[in-house]
Amino acid sequence: MKCDLCNKQAVVHEVTIKQGTSKEVHLCAEHAAEVGFQLPTETPMAKILGAVAATVEAGPSRERTARCAACGLTFAGFRKAGALGCPACYDAFMPMLGEVIERSQAGATAHTGVRPRGSDDAQRQQAIRGALMRDLEAAITAEQYERAATIRDQLTALDRSGG
């Protein structure tokens, strides 16, 4: 289908229905970007899975016949559905999934995203609280009650400050 504004191939197809009347818009990548549509910049998962499928089909027969023992999903079933059936599928298909994940994440194999604001502070506060609790327990076990009272006061102050 062609773009409504030029003669290029349309990549965005939007249908809007208002009060029973439908309006279709077809835009090429250039015009869609001008209007403000977010276009995918990465390879779609279906293409990635298709590329892996060719590799797997040419690979050892174990990969072609891999099946999850827990839910019975095959790797071919995963490629078709684009989703795993259960948590055990990760272990069953790990040799093949590693390549899929690397391709879909541009070579990354670990999360490198952004953490929510304040999560570093919360983790730091939790670590301090844990250390104080261990110190308190050790002081009580050693019958160092004055030290235990000081640690208790530190914990109380930490709790009041929002940690």
pLDDT in tens, the chain (163 residues): 898 899 888 888 888 888 888 888 888 888 888 887 776 655 555 555 665 555 544 444 555 578 888 898 888 888 788 788 888 888 888 878 777 777 776 666 665 666 666 667 777 888 888 899 999 999 999 999 999 999 999 999 988 876 5
pTM over 0.95: no
Read off the DSSP letter of residue 59: S
Sign of CA dihedral 2, 5, 8, 11: negative
Report pLDDT for 11: 84
Nearest of 46, 90, 101 to residue 75 by alpha carbon: 90
Return phi, psi of residue 67, to 5°.
-140, 140
Report pLDDT for 58: 47
Record the tokens describing residue 48, joined without a space: 């990635």
Beta bridge partners of 25: 14
Domain ranges of the chain: 1-39, 45-104, 119-160
- Give CA–CA dist 135/132, Å, rounded: 5
- Give CA–CA dist 44/46, Å, rounded: 5
What is the CB-side half-sphere exposure of residue 73 using CA atoms within 13 A?
20
Nearest of 36, 72, 108 to residue 27 by alpha carbon: 36
Record the tokens describing residue 122, joined without a space: 């919360």
